[in-house]
Amino acid sequence: MPLAECAGGCPRLVSLSVDPGGNPMAAADPARFRVRYHHCPACQRFWCDGCEQGGSPCRSCGGALEGPTPRHALELIFGGRGRVPERLLATLVLRGTVFEARRRGGN
């Protein structure tokens, strides 16, 4: 499970997942993990839902925060933007078809 440190200074880790519902193991342990977060594309920091004030700018750089996307997990796994294989990104674009169908059917 890809993890990111919360920039708010709390002890929880942000669990990044390509699953829209978040990683079930992380969701079951909210004292250690958060599955809801915001991301600052300007400074690349992650803020858990306990530390981030909804809709506010990033406290580190003032940039606009964005909600969770499966791309965040893929960027961590593959080592940054531009390194994620296009075929994986294309699968995410097909959310209403392939991605969601697999989620309901198991693997």
Number of domains in the chain: 1
CA gap 25, 3 in Å, rounded: 12
The mean pLDDT value for 76-85 works out to: 76
**Which domain, by its residues, includes 52?**
3-105
What's this model's pTM, rounded to 2 decimal places?
0.69
Tens of pLDDT, residue by residue over 4-59, are 899 988 999 998 887 777 888 998 999 999 988 888 888 989 899 888 766 678 88
Residues 6+ apart with CB under 8 A from 49: 34, 36, 37, 38
Nearest Cα to 21, choosing from 93, 85, 104? Answer: 104
